[in-house]
A and B are shown apart, each in its own frame.
Chain A
Amino acid sequence: MSKGVLVDITRCIGCRSCQVACKSWNDLPADKSEFSNSWDNPEKLSANTWTKVNYYLIEEEGQKLKWRFVKRQCMHCLEPACESACFTHSFVKTKEGAVIYKPTELNKDYCVGCRYCMIACPFGVPSFQWDKAFPYVLKCRFCYDRMKEDMEPACVSACLTGALKYGDRDELLAEAWERINTIPGYVKHVYGEKEYGGTSWLYISDVPFDKIGFRTEAFGKPVTTRSIPSLTWDVLKWTPALFFGWGAVLTIMRAYTKRRAEHIEESELFEPVDNK
Chain B
Amino acid sequence: MQFGRFSFRLTGFRKLLILLVGIAAAVALWRFISGLGAVTNLSDEWPWGLWIGFDLLCGIALAGGGFSTALIVHVLHKDKYLPIVRAALLTSMLGYIIALVSLFLDIGRWFNFWRPFFYWGYHSVLFEVFWCIAIYTTVQVLEFGDIVFEKINFPSLKRILHGALPFLLILGIVLPSLHQSSLGSLYIVAVDRLYPLWWSMLIPFFFVWSAFFLGPAMVTIEGTLAARTYGREPELPIFSSLTKVTLWMLVIYLIVKIIDLVYRGVFSMAFNGSFESNMFLIEMILFIILPIIMYAMPSVRNKLGGVLTASILVVVGVVFNRVNVVFTGMAGAMGGSYFPSIWEWLMTMGMWSFLVLAYCFFVENFPIMAKEEYVHGSGHSIGTGTGFQA
Contact = CB atoms under 8 A, between A and B. Distances in A.
Interface of A: 44-47, 81, 84-90, 109-116, 118-120, 122, 124, 126-137, 215, 218-219, 223-224, 226, 228-229, 231-236, 239, 242-243, 246-247, 250-251, 253-254, 257-258, 260-262, 264, 266-267, 269-276
A133 B111 CA distance: 11
Contacts of B196: 219
Interface residues of B, number: 92
Nearest to A253: B75
B186 A135 contact: no
B109 A218 contact: no
B115 A85 contact: no
Given A112-B113, A135-B109, A260-B384, A219 B77 contact: no
A261 B79 contact: yes
B185 interface: yes
B79 A262 contact: yes
Contacts of B383: 262
B169 to A, nearest CB: 8
A228 B194 CA distance: 13
A131 to B, nearest CB: 4
A44 B384 CA distance: 63
A81 B189 contact: yes
Q: Is the interface of B mostly helix, strand, loop or mixed?
A: helix
Nearest to B129: A87
A232 B367 contact: no
A133 B107 CA distance: 11
Contacts, number: 242
Contacts of B191: 122, 224, 226, 228, 231
Interface stretch (B41-49, B242-250, B348-356): B41-49
A231 B109 contact: no
A204 B294 CA distance: 57
Nearest to A219: B196
B95 to A, nearest CB: 19
13 contacts: A87-B124, A88-B121, A113-B112, A119-B186, A124-B45, A231-B189, A235-B125, A236-B185, A246-B174, A247-B171, A257-B76, A264-B382, A273-B364
B174 A247 contact: yes
A135 B111 CA distance: 11
Interface string B337-368: 00000000000000000000000100111111
A80 to B, nearest CB: 11
Given A109-B112, A228-B191, A250-B174, A273 B369 contact: yes
B189 A119 contact: yes
A114 B188 contact: no
Contact of B230 (A90, A267, A275): A275
B261 interface: no
Contacts of A218: 192-193, 333
A19 to B, nearest CB: 17
Contacts of B188: 228, 231-232, 235
Interface in B293-347: 333-335
Contacts of A135: 35-36, 108-109
B121 A270 contact: no
A262 B264 CA distance: 48
B82 A272 contact: no
Contacts of B83: 269
Contacts of B334: 124
